[in-house]
Chains A and B, each alone.
Chain A
Amino acid sequence: MPFKICFVYPWATFGGVERILLNRALAFKSSNANVEISVFFLHDSGGLNILREAIAAYELEGYFQLVDSLSDQFYDLISLIDCPQVLPLVRRHRLRHVVECHTAYCQNRVYLKTLGSECQAVWVPGQRFADEIAKELPKNLPLRVMRNFVPWDVENSFVDVKIPMTSWKRKPLFFFGRMDAHKDPLALFDAFSQMEEQHPGRFMLVLCGPTSPEISIEKELYRRKLRQHTVILPPIRFSRSGQLLRTIAQASGIFVSPSRGESFGLSAAEAIAFGLPVVLSDIDAHGYLVDGNESFLYPIGNANALSEKIVAIANDYDRACRNLRPLRRNFSADAFLEDWNHAVQCVHRV
């Protein structure tokens, strides 16, 4: 009998959680694990069709199904991902469940304090994040790491069509994600302004992701006279992110994340997995991804340091690639399966 798990998440958007669930299904498929994933989104915020396309593109139909109820079938386990609104329901029906916390937004995880003993465990995507939120949990509630990962070691599922070529003469600095205050693309703009003064004509910006009402990207670029050096790409499908990252790597690009908080840093992990050097804000999640190597980290809010780190990596690009490559082992599909088996055994023991 397969182990049946249903993940519940409030919104089907275009975000990291959907990507994580797809990655898990890819890992189960590649290892022939006897696991069936169902996913229940409380609301479709425009991401459901995109997810369906990705399920088809990765040929995951046997491993990943979308459901619209928790009562249609029996589940061995229900995982509520940042979804406290379903807690009363699973308590009432005494459904075996865990809570997964992926949000870096503190105000969105206040509910963790209210969890009772009927919750089997809290799963988090990395050890540093676990250390950070441990104090936010009730005592005696098990906290387990279910590592986020990039299934780069599941090669067949990750390559579909050829990698696009670019003809840019400048080295692209790549921002990949939601362009909101939390992910802080403006920090990159400020650093880029300095770099354009000190190294005119050497770098350009490539931004890809959904925009946010918090920041008028065009206006901010114009204000700094940077629109002329910038490519803005609309968000891409899940199944194409690997191609885009490899395209940027082929153009000798550098991935930059000035994010103010991450539970894991999925985009940065994907960049490393695909051989793209990174410069990341020095937060716990990023520190874990680069194993604390300061060549790839800069202090938040320090545009000087960010631009210096970028220039240093650009000046010794091959070495940066070589140093980063071994780190991707920490977030491979294999690493996840190890965590998974351990966590599921613990649930069975309870």
Chain B
Amino acid sequence: MIAKLIRLANRLVGSSHKACYEFAKAIYWRLPKTFRLHLMTVRIRMVSQRLTAGISDSISSGGESSLSRLASPWLARANNSEKIAVVSCGFEFDELVNQRPINAAKYFADQGYFVIFVAWQWSPREKLIKGCAEVQSAIFQVPLYDFLDATQVLHTREDDRSLFLVTFPAIPLVDLVRPLRSKGLSIIYDIMDEWECFFKVGQATWYDMQLERSLVLESDHVMAVSPSLVDKFSSLRNDINLIGNGYSAATIGPEHKFVAKRKNVSEHIVGYFGHLTDSWFNWDFLFSAVSKLPDVKFEIIGYGAPDWVFSKAVEFPNLSLVGKILPRDLHTLARHWSAALIPFKESPLAEAVDPIKIYEYLYFALPVVSTGIKHIQHYPYTSFATTDHEFIFSIKQAISCEMDLQSLDDFLQQTTWSKRFSNIENLLNSNTLARLYAV
């Protein structure tokens, strides 16, 4: 192993910074957690350097970019559009992925906006698979650095509906706030996650607490997906809107609505889909339930489970670690389930989440048992447990629960992505600092 590493290191001598960075990144994530924590400061410094280098590179390569941006079809369309929505996102556009920024982009396109979907890049040299292209009608994916380069030539808006939706407070996105405000766009910060907590566990390496707080103050409108995130920033302003996540029937499949509604079954299956890292998935609770409910089958879909979980799982014939399933195929398993789980560890990070999966579970007509995320206990057919005993008790109750599909449907009508984002669009009716800048 050591010899292999040395050979690899030798090959990297003289190779590009990018290769070195990728090498360090690969090694880092293979280290035990304790080592990772020790090396976190070094890691954050490396990531910051890479990010800052990206911005400088973009600025210094202005000549070539200027030429290409003049020919940018998205820029001409933006400048000729009645209203535009700039939506930032940490990944590329994929219409089948049920993520909040993607659904926001779809919503605003449906409302007649020309949407500039700004896809994250770590550096200007990073190539995106979909590049700079129209990815859906009226939605143009623009790589971050292309967009940064073009903001100066965006026209000042003459409407009062155009907006910039900031979906995470990374430096290049916060830096866009002032130029886009001066162009007459309303600034909306959508607090989707507890970024500070992610940063503390080694994720979201771009995070800067000062920057996020300044963004909360500078935005025309701020919304958060969970009550704990509203509370976190309530000392700064008193108008933070709670706007949870949602679902889209078109993405899940209209024909799959209520596919798991109560049926007479001899064997109950309880399931989960999502990430399986032991940083937040409560494997202790799950194994406790698996061992104490031998007549119930547990199907766990997803990736990221630590090795010890696989070793232990073989001891339980009623536990199946299914692996990855494409989002569009989840219904094929979920339709046979009697209840669904969200077994997260208690932490500020979990409490700040409004899990998208709960809307999908309820759409399939699955009662939900959750841990770690207290606020979702107010959702229909959702129970909240704090101990493994309560967890097991709640699972037993859930699998025998009778659902009133009409009342469930009322909830689902109010929680579509369209409903959620129409709330955001309504915010634009109020009079904010943005009014000082539009023509």
The interface bits of chain B over 412-439 (1 if a CB of A lies within 8 angstroms of the residue's CB, else 0) are: 0000000000000000001111111101
| Complex CA–CA separation, A169 to B210 (angstroms) | 17
Q: Contact at B435–A168, with CB atoms within 8 Å?
A: no
Q: Which of A101-109, A122-130, A232-240 lines the interface with chain B? A: A232-240
Q: Contact at B209–A228, with CB atoms within 8 Å?
A: yes
Residues of B within 8 A of A236 (CB): 436-437
Q: Contact at A234–B181, with CB atoms within 8 Å?
A: yes
Q: Which of B178, B433, B434 has the most CB of A within 10 A?
A: B433
The interface bits of chain B over 205-218 (1 if a CB of A lies within 8 angstroms of the residue's CB, else 0) are: 00001110110011
Q: Which of A156-164, A188-196, A273-281 lines the interface with chain B? A: A156-164
| Complex CA–CA separation, A237 to B439 (angstroms) | 10
Partner of B238 from the list A163, A169, A235 (CB cut-off 8 Å) is A169
B62 at the interface (CB under 8 A from A): no
The interface bits of chain A over 223-237 (1 if a CB of B lies within 8 angstroms of the residue's CB, else 0) are: 001011111111111
Q: Which of B235, B432, B436 has the most CB of A within 10 A?
A: B436
A163-B431, A235-B182, A240-B436 known; A222-B238 Cβ under 8 A: no
Residues of A within 8 A of B238 (CB): 167, 169
Residues of B within 8 A of A227 (CB): 210-211, 213-214
B236 at the interface (CB under 8 A from A): yes
Q: Which residue of B lies closest to A165 (CB)?
A: B431
Q: Contact at A168–B217, with CB atoms within 8 Å?
A: yes
Partner of A164 from the list B209, B236, B435, B439 (CB cut-off 8 Å) is B435
Residues of A within 8 A of B38 (CB): none
Q: Contact at A204–B217, with CB atoms within 8 Å?
A: yes
Q: Which residue of A lies closest to B182 (CB)?
A: A234
| Complex CA–CA separation, A110 to B234 (angstroms) | 54
Partner of B235 from the list A169, A231, A235, A240 (CB cut-off 8 Å) is A169
Q: Contact at A232–B178, with CB atoms within 8 Å?
A: yes
A222-B210, A228-B214, A231-B217 known; A165-B436 Cβ under 8 A: no
Residues of B within 8 A of A234 (CB): 178-179, 181-182, 437
Q: Which of B217, B234, B437 has the most CB of A within 10 A?
A: B217
> For the complex, would chain B's binding face be called helix, strand, loop or mixed by DSSP majority?
helix
Residues of B within 8 A of A233 (CB): 178, 181, 218, 433
Q: Contact at A167–B239, with CB atoms within 8 Å?
A: yes
Q: Contact at A243–B436, with CB atoms within 8 Å?
A: yes
Count of chain B residues with Cβ under 8 Å from any Cβ of A? 26
Q: Contact at A164–B217, with CB atoms within 8 Å?
A: no
A46 at the interface (CB under 8 A from B): no
Residues of A within 8 A of B181 (CB): 233-234
B30 at the interface (CB under 8 A from A): no
Instruction: Give the distance to chain B from A215, nearest Cβ to Cβ, in Å.
Output: 16
| Complex CA–CA separation, A231 to B436 (angstroms) | 15
A201 at the interface (CB under 8 A from B): yes
A341 at the interface (CB under 8 A from B): no
| Complex CA–CA separation, A228 to B211 (angstroms) | 6
| Complex CA–CA separation, A244 to B431 (angstroms) | 12
A247 at the interface (CB under 8 A from B): yes
Residues of A within 8 A of B312 (CB): none
Q: Which of A170, A228, A247 has the most CB of B within 10 A?
A: A228
A114 at the interface (CB under 8 A from B): no
| Complex CA–CA separation, A153 to B284 (angstroms) | 73
For chain A residues 261-304, which have a beta carbon within 8 Å of chain B?
none
Q: Which residue of A lies closest to B237 (CB)?
A: A167
A169-B236, A169-B238 known; A230-B431 Cβ under 8 A: no
Q: Which residue of B lies closest to A161 (CB)?
A: B435
Instruction: Give the distance to chain B from A211, nearest Cβ to Cβ, in Å.
Output: 10
A166 at the interface (CB under 8 A from B): yes
The interface bits of chain B over 234-259 (1 if a CB of A lies within 8 angstroms of the residue's CB, else 0) are: 11111100000000000000000000
Q: Which residue of B lies closest to A167 (CB)?
A: B239
| Complex CA–CA separation, A273 to B236 (angstroms) | 28
Q: Contact at A230–B436, with CB atoms within 8 Å?
A: no
| Complex CA–CA separation, A227 to B174 (angstroms) | 12
Q: Which residue of A lies closest to B221 (CB)?
A: A167
A235-B182, A236-B437 known; A201-B210 Cβ under 8 A: no
The interface bits of chain B over 198-210 (1 if a CB of A lies within 8 angstroms of the residue's CB, else 0) are: 0000000000011
| Complex CA–CA separation, A58 to B192 (angstroms) | 43
| Complex CA–CA separation, A234 to B179 (angstroms) | 7
Partner of A165 from the list B213, B432, B439 (CB cut-off 8 Å) is B432
Q: Contact at A164–B214, with CB atoms within 8 Å?
A: no
Instruction: Give the distance to chain B from A13, nearest Cβ to Cβ, in Å.
Output: 16
Q: Which residue of A lies closest to B439 (CB)?
A: A53
| Complex CA–CA separation, A167 to B240 (angstroms) | 9
Q: Which of B214, B239, B431, B432 has the most CB of A within 10 A?
A: B214
Residues of B within 8 A of A162 (CB): 431, 435
Residues of A within 8 A of B237 (CB): 166-169
Residues of B within 8 A of A243 (CB): 435-436
| Complex CA–CA separation, A233 to B177 (angstroms) | 9
Q: Which residue of B lies closest to A172 (CB)?
A: B217
Instruction: Give the distance to chain A from B240, nearest Cβ to Cβ, in Å.
Output: 8
Q: Contact at B433–A232, with CB atoms within 8 Å?
A: no
Partner of B214 from the list A53, A166, A168, A230 (CB cut-off 8 Å) is A230
Residues of A within 8 A of B210 (CB): 222, 225, 227-228
Residues of B within 8 A of A165 (CB): 430-432
| Complex CA–CA separation, A243 to B211 (angstroms) | 27
Q: Which residue of A lies closest to B236 (CB)?
A: A169
Q: Contact at B218–A164, with CB atoms within 8 Å?
A: no
Partner of B433 from the list A164, A169, A229, A230 (CB cut-off 8 Å) is A164
Residues of B within 8 A of A232 (CB): 178, 214, 218
Instruction: Give the distance to chain A from B45, nearest Cβ to Cβ, in Å.
Output: 16
Instruction: Give the distance to chain B from A185, nearest Cβ to Cβ, in Å.
Output: 16
Residues of A within 8 A of B236 (CB): 168-170
The interface bits of chain B over 43-63 (1 if a CB of A lies within 8 angstroms of the residue's CB, else 0) are: 000000000000000000000
| Complex CA–CA separation, A164 to B179 (angstroms) | 19
Instruction: Give the distance to chain B from A1, nearest Cβ to Cβ, in Å.
Output: 37
Residues of A within 8 A of B209 (CB): 228
Instruction: Give the distance to chain A from B66, nearest Cβ to Cβ, in Å.
Output: 18
Residues of B within 8 A of A163 (CB): 431
| Complex CA–CA separation, A231 to B178 (angstroms) | 10
A230-B217, A231-B218, A234-B179 known; A201-B235 Cβ under 8 A: yes
B residues with a Cβ closer than 8 A to A are: 178-179, 181-182, 209-211, 213-214, 217-218, 234-239, 430-437, 439
Apart from A164-B432, A166-B237, what 8 extra A-B contacts exist at CB < 8 Å?
A167-B239, A168-B236, A168-B237, A222-B210, A228-B211, A233-B433, A237-B436, A243-B435
> Sorted from nearest, which 9 A-B pairs have the closest CB atoms?
A167-B239, A228-B213, A234-B182, A228-B210, A227-B210, A167-B237, A240-B436, A234-B178, A231-B218
A residues with a Cβ closer than 8 A to B are: 53, 161-170, 201, 204, 222, 225, 227-237, 240, 243-244, 247
List 27 A-B pairs, Cβ < 8 Å.
A163-B431, A164-B431, A164-B432, A164-B433, A164-B435, A164-B436, A165-B430, A166-B433, A167-B238, A168-B236, A169-B234, A170-B236, A201-B235, A225-B210, A227-B213, A228-B210, A228-B211, A229-B213, A231-B214, A231-B218, A233-B218, A234-B178, A236-B437, A240-B437, A243-B435, A247-B433, A247-B436
